């Protein structure tokens, strides 16, 4: 099933404050650490945890906002190519071919520009090493588990994602539209260095089923509204759990199991000046069990848009016909594709699932597959998604 919601029609509302309370864990004020046992209980159940106001006193001042411009300029060519404009408020007579990274520079023309960009530091080992020394919270500050049966074995992915945005107007600047990510790790932790970012999230059907089958009755009541909306299958009416991340907050989320979108509200002032601080955050992928680190741990991370499965799809299902093909190129892979391009009995081309596809997976075809495929695939209309 393909579901694409227009960003302007997203219904943003705080859904069930009790759920936000359930996923919130306060840091220990005496140790400035997070209880790993408490974290595992919440994350294993909901696949999302919110840590407000992590104390970074010992690191404050080590990473300056203005440093990101120089960091980007020193990156390798491969890392610079990950630069992505998530959202850009184009001004009149503005040059379309902007130079990547210039938006990071602290100058007056940038301070009045509304935009939201990102890049990934992964190939430049020297820059990555220096960044990890300066980041306020380079790793989740877990305390050792109190249980002898639970060992804290956490590994982090190869890249550091940087999200940098500016918004000095009294209206939200929306980022990438609601989506899920195709991931193999357990989740990603996002730390807000400066400014504010709003998250709007809702569970996939896969996650709803997990919560319903493994949780207590009160959790089922918390998610019932989402289940009812899923049955109606009307993306415009989907409600979201809204989380405001301010400086010092951490959000740990499995972006494969949670639909998510972000926006930047008007940012706060910089000290007593009239300038607005940028919204800056960084993210790292997290493996909670070193033995489960997959082949993707050493692979390249990319900022790619794509089409995702909104729900689980059985093998042999017509995902969409040629006449319904969305304006987005499918991802291609050399191994383990989940779709193939076929010709149906009526002569029309189509994309068909060649194996079971889990909710949140990219639709991808074999790298050598193309629309000239002459295979004929017969199916009943009721198998279409």
- Same domain? For 240 and 164 the reply is yes
- Same domain? For 283 and 350 the reply is no
Is there a domain that residue 121 lies in?
yes
Is there a domain that residue 312 lies in?
no
What DSSP string describes 129-157?
Answer: HHHHHHSS-SS--EEPPSSTT-----EE-
In the structure, how many helices (H) and strands (E) does the chain have? Answer: 8, 20
Burial 16-49 (b: 16+ CB within 10 A, else e): beebeebbebebeeeeeebbbeebbebbebbbbb
Q: Which residues partner with 351 through β-bridges?
A: 320, 341
Per-residue confidence (pLDDT) for residue 18, from 0 to 100: 76
Is there a domain that residue 237 lies in?
yes
Spatial separation of the C-alpha atoms in residues 35 and 48, rounded to whole Å: 15
Spatial separation of the C-alpha atoms in residues 180 and 254, rounded to whole Å: 9
- Same domain? For 231 and 325 the reply is no
**Residue 287: CB atoms within 10 Å:** 19
**Residue numbers of the chain with a pLDDT score lower than 70:** 1-17, 55-61, 91-97, 145-151, 214-222, 231-237, 271-274, 291-306, 308, 310, 326-329, 360, 368-385
Spatial separation of the C-alpha atoms in residues 89 and 66, rounded to whole Å: 22
Per-residue confidence (pLDDT) for residue 121, from 0 to 100: 95
- Same domain? For 266 and 322 the reply is no
Q: Is 207 helix (H, G, I), strand (E, B) or coil?
A: helix
Per-residue confidence (pLDDT) for residue 150, from 0 to 100: 60
Is there a domain that residue 55 lies in?
yes
Is there a domain that residue 306 lies in?
no
- Same domain? For 96 and 232 the reply is yes
Is there a domain that residue 304 lies in?
no
- Same domain? For 176 and 256 the reply is yes
Spatial separation of the C-alpha atoms in residues 296 and 185, rounded to whole Å: 8
- Same domain? For 258 and 356 the reply is no
Looking at 241, 265, 298, which one is the last position of a domain?
298
- Same domain? For 280 and 334 the reply is no
Q: Exposed, middle or buried by CB within 10 Å (0-12, 13-18, 19+), for 147? A: exposed
Count of structural domains within the chain: 2
Is there a domain that residue 328 lies in?
yes
Spatial separation of the C-alpha atoms in residues 68 and 162, rounded to whole Å: 9
Three-state secondary structure string covering 48-107: EEEECCCCCCCCCCCCCCCHHHHHHHCCCHHHHCCCEEEEECCCCCCCCCCCCCHHHCCC
Nearest Cα residue to 120 out of 304, 355, 327:
304
Per-residue confidence (pLDDT) for residue 25, from 0 to 100: 94
Looking at 237, 263, 298, which one is the last position of a domain?
298
Spatial separation of the C-alpha atoms in residues 316 and 377, rounded to whole Å: 9
Per-residue confidence (pLDDT) for residue 209, from 0 to 100: 84
Burial 117-140 (b: 16+ CB within 10 A, else e): bbbbbbbbeebbeebeeebbbbeb
Domain ranges, residue 341: 318-383
Per-residue confidence (pLDDT) for residue 8, from 0 to 100: 39
Looking at 298, 327, 354, which one is the last position of a domain?
298
Spatial separation of the C-alpha atoms in residues 167 and 186, rounded to whole Å: 31
Nearest Cα residue to 360 out of 229, 243, 208:
208
- Same domain? For 162 and 249 the reply is yes
Domain with residue 30: its CATH number is: 2.60.120.650
What dihedral do alpha carbons 315, 316, 321, 324 form, nearest 10°? -30
- Same domain? For 185 and 60 the reply is yes
């Amino acid at each position: 099933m393909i579901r694409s919601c227009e960003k302007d029609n997203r219904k943003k509302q705080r859904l069930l404050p009790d759920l936000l309370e359930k996923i919130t864990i306060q840091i220990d004020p005496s140790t400035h650490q997070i209880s790993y046992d408490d974290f595992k209980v919440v994350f294993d159940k909901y696949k999302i945890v919110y840590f407000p106001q992590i104390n970074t006193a010992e690191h404050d001042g080590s990473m300056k906002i203005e440093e990101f411009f120089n960091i980007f300029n020193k990156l390798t060519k491969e890392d610079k190519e990950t630069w992505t404009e998530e959202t850009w408020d184009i001004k009149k007579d503005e040059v379309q071919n902007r130079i990547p990274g210039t938006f990071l520079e602290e100058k007056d023309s940038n301070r009045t520009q509304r935009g939201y960009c990102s890049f990934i530091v992964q190939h430049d080992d020297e820059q990555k090493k220096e960044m990890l020394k300066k980041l306020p919270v380079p790793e989740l500050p877990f305390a050792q588990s109190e249980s002898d049966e639970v060992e804290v074995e956490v590994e982090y992915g190869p890249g550091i994602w940087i999200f940098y945005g500016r918004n000095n107007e009294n209206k939200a600047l929306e980022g990438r539209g609601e989506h899920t990510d195709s991931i193999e790790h357990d989740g990603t932790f996002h730390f807000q260095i400066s400014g504010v970012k709003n998250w709007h999230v809702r569970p996939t059907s896969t996650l709803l089923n997990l919560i319903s089958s493994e949780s207590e009755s009160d959790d089922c009541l918390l998610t019932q509204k989402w289940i009812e909306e899923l049955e109606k299958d009307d993306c415009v009416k989907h409600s979201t759990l809204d989380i405001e991340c301010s400086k010092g907050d951490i959000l740990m989320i499995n972006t494969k199991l949670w639909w998510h979108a972000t926006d930047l509200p008007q940012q706060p002032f910089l000290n007593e000046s009239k300038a607005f601080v940028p919204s800056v955050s960084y993210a790292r992928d997290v493996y909670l069990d070193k033995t489960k680190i997959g082949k993707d741990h050493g692979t390249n991370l990319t900022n790619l848009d794509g089409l995702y499965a909104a729900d689980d799809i059985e093998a042999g299902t017509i995902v969409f016909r040629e006449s319904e093909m969305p304006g987005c190129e499918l991802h291609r892979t050399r191994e383990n594709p989940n779709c193939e391009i076929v010709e149906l009995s009526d002569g029309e081309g189509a994309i068909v699932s060649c194996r079971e596809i889990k909710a949140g997976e990219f639709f991808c075809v074999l790298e050598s597959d193309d629309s000239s495929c002459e295979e004929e695939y017969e199916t009943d209309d009721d198998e279409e998604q």
